[in-house]
Amino acid sequence: AGKAFRKFLPLFDRVLVERCAAETVTKGGIMIPEKAQGKVLQATVVAVGSGSRGKDGEIHPVSVKVGEKVLLPEYGGTKIVLEDKDYYLFRDGDILGKYLD
């Protein structure tokens, strides 16, 4: 994954994320078929842009950092394939929240 991000860096307030894998087994051990699995809304940030430029001309930094877990909206984002892996590009303002450890 490290090589892919040397070739691609998000611009402005864009955030590149990798969605977490969907759960295939319930806590009780029951297998969930693919059609019944919901869309995964949790992701890990893998790269961030420098930030957006405000009306005052100053750069406002992105609110998330590489490695943080975030909550994504159900729809949106731009799918990007880097080295045969799927990543999604979101604006910083589209990310709903981040998980705290």
Contact predicate 44/74, CB 8 Å: no
Provide the residue-wise pLDDT of the chain in tens; the chain has 101 residues. Answer: 444 556 778 888 889 988 877 767 767 777 777 666 667 788 889 988 888 888 888 888 888 888 899 988 888 888 988 888 888 899 988 888 888 87
Concatenated DSSP letters for 1-28?
-HHHHHH----TTEEEEEEPPPP-B-TT
Distance CA 77, CA 89 (A): 5
Position 57: which residue type? G
Give the global pTM.
0.75
Ordered by where they begin, the domains of the chain are 14-98 (2.30.33.40)
